[in-house]
Structure 1
Amino acid sequence: MPTGPLRPSPLVEQAAERLRAQIADGTWPVGARLPAETALAQQLGVGRSTVREALRALAGAGLVRPRQGAGVFVVATEPVEDWATRLRRAAVTDVYDVRMAVEVHAVRLAARRRTLEDVEALHTALAGRRAAATADDTAFVDADIALHAAAVAAAHNPLLSALFDEFTPALREALTGLLALTGLRDHDPNTGYDTHAALVRAIEDGDAETAANVLRRELEQTLELLAARSGK
């Protein structure tokens, strides 16, 4: 078990790490009640406010849970990663597998639920993607993602939109890298335009299955390129 006083800074992070290590090595197993703040402060050589913040950090990581009037108890030995953290660490091919499941279902719903405003937004996004053909890869990818986001938004399911938003940073990085690596835009600066126009048309026409099939084919092709790039 780690012992000794902590270095002056950053105290909260160090205190949280020391307590996390003691939980991990079994000093305080699952179900155990941690010592009171005063005792922990003395052991760690810090103030009670530092201990309090460290315990909050551990609670946020899912390691401990305070019980009113009873103290703070260990509930897990490994931190629980939130969805955003898992996405940042995931392989891009795994992200695309999940994206396909979410987005293909979303456009199927979009074809059934779209409003006139949704259709206008889709055409605006499609025009923006076409205009971005003269821009650099980053701007082009942003315009492409904006069109996909508009398609998901037309499903009128805030959870699907929230999931897509979580994917956006990983998608932007992966697609920008893919364009740079493959040179897809060298001979076709607006690569994929016909497919995206067909997607917008299917949603506008209320053709759910065509919308789903068009998008699935597009994402499968991109996934194949990403898999080849990663060697997976």
Structure 2
Amino acid sequence: MNPGRKYHQVSWRLIRDIAVEQWAVGVRLPTEKALALRYGVSRGTIGETLTALEVMGLVELSRQRGARLVRVPHPAQMIHPRPSQSEITEARVLFEGEAAALAAVHGTRCEIEAIHELALANHPDEHRSDRAFHIAIAQATHNGAVLATIERLWDAVPISAPQPIRSRPGHDHLSIALLLLERNASGARNAMRNHVAATSGAGCQVPDAPPNHPSACNRQANVPK
């Protein structure tokens, strides 16, 4: 978790606690040390948190006297912050990697051949074709919860400008589709994890899951026809 995201989350928790515990305007907030212990973060993160609350007009900061509550949080300020793009990417790596492994085991031959055709297609709308490929894999898991989760994650994926040819989705899609055709659950999982990380703008490589990954998808399954 990067520092920016950490103080953002702590800010929301502190605002919620101020409202739930009904702190009165004018009350002194606990010291940075006490708040750091309360939320399990560093004093530096608490300093950033208090600065954020000052910018929001909720507290007044004084070097000698610490932080003082000057306004009760508005209900709109208690809404949990929208997940950052890096958080969405982390969730996609987790869920879509396992979805690919599940699809390799539970997908029908017809479903996987359709996924392969999507990988071969040259669609002018790259975002739409990319989404269609990933949702088709989620559908091939035959798990409604997995499908619903991945659909919600894709609703949060921004429509970005075309990517460099080396990281365009189609190149990875074909590799993933071939692994699904081979019923290679472990390979499909790792390929999907790396694909999501590479094409999301995260700029990182995801380490392969260990050979003894606890997923039930590593076992050989009876392939549905």
Query: 1:114 aligned to 2:107?
Result: yes
Aligned equivalent of 1:65: none
Counterpart secondary structure, 2:134: helix
Evaluate the alpha carbon distance shift between residue 141 and residue 157 of structure 1 in structure 2; reply closer, same or farther with a 3 A threshold: same
- Cα deviation for residue 115 of structure 1 reads 0.5
Query: 1:151 aligned to 2:151?
Result: no
- Cα deviation for residue 227 of structure 1 reads 5.6
CA displacement, residues 73-96 of structure 1 (integer Å, 9 cap, x when unaligned): xxxx97886xxx86xx21111100
1:100 to 76, 82, 93: 93
Larger fraction in helix: 1
Counterpart secondary structure, 1:131: coil
Larger radius of gyration: 1
- Cα deviation for residue 121 of structure 1 reads 2.5
What is the CA–CA distance in structure 2 between the aligned matches of 1:203 and 1:95, rounded to whole Å?
A: 24
Counterpart secondary structure, 2:122: helix
Contact 1:122-1:147 within 8 A present in 2 as well: yes
Q: Percent identity?
A: 19
- Cα deviation for residue 123 of structure 1 reads 2.5
Query: 1:210 aligned to 2:201?
Result: no
Contact 2:104-2:183 within 8 A present in 1 as well: yes
Q: Which amino acid in 2 is paired with 1:91?
A: S
- Cα deviation for residue 220 of structure 1 reads 2.4
CA displacement, residues 33-91 of structure 1 (integer Å, 9 cap, x when unaligned): xxxxxxxxxxxxxxxxxxxxxxxxxxxxxxxxxxxxxxxxxxxx97886xxx86xx211
CA displacement, residues 94-151 of structure 1 (integer Å, 9 cap, x when unaligned): 1000111111011111111111221132133224xx321xx2xxx2111011101111
- Cα deviation for residue 222 of structure 1 reads 2.8
Aligned equivalent of 2:126: 140
Counterpart secondary structure, 1:148: helix
Aligned equivalent of 1:37: none
Provide runs of 4+ in structure 1 moved above 4 Å.
Answer: 23-27, 77-81
Q: After superposition, where does 1:149-228 map in structure 2 within 5 Å?
A: 149-171=135-157, 173=158, 176-177=159-160, 179-180=161-162, 183-185=163-165, 191-223=168-200, 225-226=201-202
Q: After superposition, where does 1:11-26 map in structure 2 within 5 Å?
A: 26=22
Q: Give the total of aligned pairs.
A: 138
What is the CA–CA distance in structure 1 between the aligned matches of 2:190 and 2:172, rounded to whole Å?
A: 11
What is the CA–CA distance in structure 2 between the aligned matches of 1:145 and 1:194, rounded to whole Å?
A: 15
What is the CA–CA distance in structure 1 between the aligned matches of 2:170 and 2:155, rounded to whole Å?
A: 22
Which runs of 5 or more structure 1 residues have no equivalent in the other structure? 1-22, 28-76
Aligned equivalent of 2:11: none
Contact 1:126-1:147 within 8 A present in 2 as well: yes
Q: Which amino acid in 2 is paired with 1:207?
A: N
Q: Which amino acid in 2 is paired with 1:148?
A: H
Structure scoring higher RCO (CA < 8 A, sep ≥ 6) equals: 2
| CA root-mean-square deviation | 3.4
